[in-house]
Chain A
Amino acid sequence: MSPRLSRRLMLGAGGAAAVRPVAAEDDVIPEWSRTLGEGVDQHPYGKPSIHEKAVIRRDVGWLTASPQSSVNFTPLHALDGIITPNGLCFERHHGGMADIDPARHRLMIHGMVERPVVLTMAELKRLPRVNRIYFLECAANSGMEWRGAQLNGVQFTHGMIHNVMYTGVTLRTLLDAAGVKPGAAWMLAEGADAAGMDRSIPLGKALDDCMVAFAQNGEALRPEQGYPLRLVVPGWQGNMWVKWLRRLKIGDAPWHTREETSKYTDLLADGRARRFTWVMDAKSVITAPSPQAPVVGHGPLVISGIAWSGRGTISRVDVSLDGGRNWREARLDGPVLPLSMTRFYVDTEWHGQEMLLQSRAHDSTGYVQPTKAELRKIRGLNSIYHNNGIQTWLIRPNGESENVEVG
């Protein structure tokens, strides 16, 4: 309790104040305690408090030539728990956000199947459905940091990720019904937007855990996330999760589309490139404190962060306050699910000392998140994609923070 607050409380208790408190000089009984608030139905679809208006997706203007072929970033510094609110899930479009009438949308399943089929959205919603929580990370997340610390905020360095609960129908249900022919090994997924995004996916993955989703976090998909239907490819790079999904074609060889040749191939230092690098490696980052979320005062401090792995479940996260010299195990809190974000905390004290905050994720396959230096040694500087190196935030004595690298 602050001294000012306790003095006022004491005055009140002594019966000294016979007059009603005046709002302007007294926040003991603020205006919202004395006047009626808005009635129901002022906001048929609710929004966050006006005081949270800075918590929005943001873009980096210079990255791309046009807003229709661009990206914005999830404000990770201001979020907690593991579920990303629908309106804050980062956007990545290649031909703008399609605005689709669900009554006119169709999903076609054809190619090497016994029974090619076209389904309406209403028909899809009559099939057995499942609910699953998965992270979706763009393979280019942290891609601007390959050459060094560049963007000053976790929203920009790590914000091409979100984690929501999907509702939909498994591809196993759909493809079993269509009857995959012998010799089939690949599936092409294609969007109905003006980019007509198409990606090749191994049939094994499709039948293992992929699904077509029509809902996120309990409500219909947001238009920017592919309304009315998107592909869910758990643990694998976001580009494959084709939005505005209109077609699944079964075949016997990959298509080598532009998004799996020109893009989403990882150029190594020797000039050769890895292709089909679908899985997202284990990764973690401290979301607060961070450059957009400075430390606010001496005393108790919660260090909060997220970890995820495309290969399995987060088994442990270590946190360092001194740039990787000494580590302690963080506390995982909330659901710890495979292929989902996991929240971790370190509850500590801060008294103005300089800190170099780092986190290091471990997953259920035994993978340990590498340092940026370790990654660069193998992959060089030109790979753009799959930067899962350990992030460092410098915390200054005044509580402010900066994106730095240490050696």
Chain B
Amino acid sequence: MWRWASLVLLLLFAPLAQAAPLGLGRAPTAAELEAWDIDVRPDGKGLPKGRGTAREGEALYQERCASCHGEFGEGINRWPELAGGEGSLTGDRPLRTIGSYWPYVSTVFDFLRHAMPFGNAQSLVPDEIYAVTAYLLGLNDVLKDEDFELNERTLPSIRLPNEAGFFDDDREVAEAAFWNRPVCMVACTAEVRITGRAAVLDVTPDTKSAPRIE
């Protein structure tokens, strides 16, 4: 009889011990997961069910995005550009946009779902995000068909032009010369000349061409 009692006790306590090794906290609720678990990966993991086309996204974009990002994604004043810049990455003023620079479409979806429109974040429903993403892909000449349906299955299949433009941090190899090098302490250079001055270059604070930090 005592054996049965201890087995019952074991069954009672085993799941408890497993659920809370910290002795604290609780499991996430379904509502919390639905609201918070909103990240999306390039392989499509995390994409919600939904659909939209560029044609459907146009009105939303012009109404809720264009005031900052411009009618064509060109960026009003210093608000970010969302299109253009093809071929500019090796130039003097590279323009990094979805079409010219970004590697994955999933990033657009993930970012809009988290942060846009600026000032009213996390307000777009999945169909709206699919539609406005399709519209942005149109502005960037990635999607040519205005009626192409972007959804959780088609989105991961669309590739961006610069996907192959990235490689993992290689500083320890490419910059190996910065390690363990002989360090000169005396008479290291022949003559020292001033080659640039902040007072001369001091940037005019209102121009769009000034470098940005992001």
Which residues of A approach B to under 8 Å, CB–CB? 60-66, 68-69, 71, 94-95, 106, 108, 110, 114-120, 123, 126-127, 138, 140, 143-144, 146-152, 174, 177, 179, 188, 190, 194-198, 246-247, 249, 251, 253-258, 261-263, 265, 267, 269-279, 281, 291, 318, 322-328, 356, 360, 362, 365-370, 374, 378, 382, 384, 394, 402-407
Contacts and interface: CB of A to CB of B under 8 A. Distances in A.
B207 A117 contact: no
B70 to A, nearest CB: 12
Given A64-B212, A194-B119, A194-B121, 7 more contacts: A108-B32, A115-B20, A123-B25, A150-B203, A198-B114, A261-B103, A384-B214
B27 A277 contact: no
B180 interface: yes
A253 B28 contact: no
Nearest to A192: B36
Nearest to B111: A258
A406 B186 CA distance: 17
B111 A257 contact: yes
B104 interface: yes
Interface stretch (B6-14, B58-66, B136-144, B192-200): B192-200
B189 A272 contact: no
Given A115-B21, A256-B106, A69 B118 contact: yes
A174 B22 CA distance: 8
Contacts of B118: 66, 68-69, 95
A198 B194 contact: no
Contact of A325 (B174, B187, B205): B187
Interface stretch (B39-47, B48-56, B124-132, B145-153): B39-47
Contacts of A323: 189, 192
A289 to B, nearest CB: 15
B198 A378 contact: no
A350 B42 CA distance: 59
A152 B202 contact: yes
Scoring A68, A108, A277, A327 by chain B CB atoms within 10 A of each residue's CB, the highest score goes to A108
A366 B180 CA distance: 5
Contact of A328 (B19, B32, B106, B185): B185
Contact of A249 (B39, B102, B192, B210): B39
B195 A63 contact: no
B5 interface: no
A404 B197 contact: yes
Nearest to A71: B213
B170 interface: yes
B181 interface: yes
Interface of B: 18-22, 24-29, 32-33, 36-43, 45, 68, 77-80, 89-90, 94, 96, 98, 101-104, 106-107, 110-111, 113-115, 118-119, 121-122, 165-171, 174-175, 178-181, 183-189, 192-199, 201-207, 210-214
A22 B182 CA distance: 63
A142 to B, nearest CB: 10
Contact of A368 (B19, B27, B102, B179): B179
Given A274-B169, A402-B198, A262 B102 contact: yes
A116 B203 contact: no
A246 B80 CA distance: 27
A10 to B, nearest CB: 46
B198 A152 contact: yes
A267 B96 contact: yes
Contact of A273 (B33, B166, B184): B166
A272 B213 contact: no
Given A190-B39, A262-B102, A405-B194, A95 B25 contact: no
A123 B24 contact: yes
B121 A274 contact: no
Contacts of A255: 39-41, 110
A404 B197 CA distance: 4
Given A247-B36, A261-B107, A61 B205 contact: yes
Contacts of B110: 198, 255, 257-258
A256 B104 contact: yes
Nearest to A156: B198
A253 B43 CA distance: 10
A404 B196 contact: yes
Closest 9 CB pairs of A and B: A196-B114, A62-B205, A323-B192, A403-B198, A65-B78, A405-B196, A271-B89, A407-B195, A258-B111
Contacts of B179: 365-368
B21 to A, nearest CB: 5
Contact of A62 (B104, B201, B203): B203
A169 B162 CA distance: 40
Contacts of B114: 190, 195-198
B111 to A, nearest CB: 4
A262 B26 contact: no
Given A143-B211, A278-B169, A318-B183, A269 B22 contact: no
Nearest to B76: A65
Contacts of B103: 256, 261
Nearest to B210: A62
